[in-house]
Amino acid sequence: MLDQSMLDQLRRDVGEEMFPLIMSQFTAEIRDKTERLEQAHAQADLAELAELAHSLKSSTRTVGLSHLGDQANEIEAGARAGDASTLDLAPGFVAQCREGARQLDLLSQAQ
């Protein structure tokens, strides 16, 4: 699930010392936005869904969860187009984001 090459690049970009802090911040951001996306789904708020998916697209790709970035892109595009069926994608995406955050936690603990 995690793209190790992306994580290695991030580690080189931010430095060994800052890497754990950056990972912690991204993991917290993913969790927060995932919770908010779940609320937007419950309220059928396509505009908020699009904004949160856009933000998650960047965050997940940065920390090596590229497949989640691709899913976020799909949700963002559908929500911006006003496609209500996009709401059906949210629960699975939320579950996968939570799993991604869990994997990032495990990676941080192993460091």
pLDDT band at 78 (very low <50, low <70, confident <90, very high): very high
The count of domains in the chain is 1
Q: Give yes or no for a contact between 100 and 61, defined as CB atoms under 8 angstroms apart.
A: no
Please name which of 110, 111, 34, 29 lies closest in space to residue 63, comparing C-alpha atoms. 29
10 Å Cβ neighbour count for 65? Answer: 28
Q: What mean pLDDT comes out for the span 61-85?
A: 96
- The two three-digit tokens of residue 96, written as one number: 């996968």
pLDDT confidence of residue 1: 77
pTM, two decimal places? 0.91
CATH of the domain at 42: 1.20.120.160
pLDDT digits (tens, 9 = 90+) for 31-59: 999 999 999 999 999 999 999 999 999 99
Domain that holds residue 56: 4-110
10 Å Cβ neighbour count for 13? Answer: 11
pLDDT band at 95 (very low <50, low <70, confident <90, very high): very high
Q: What is the mean pLDDT of the chain?
A: 95
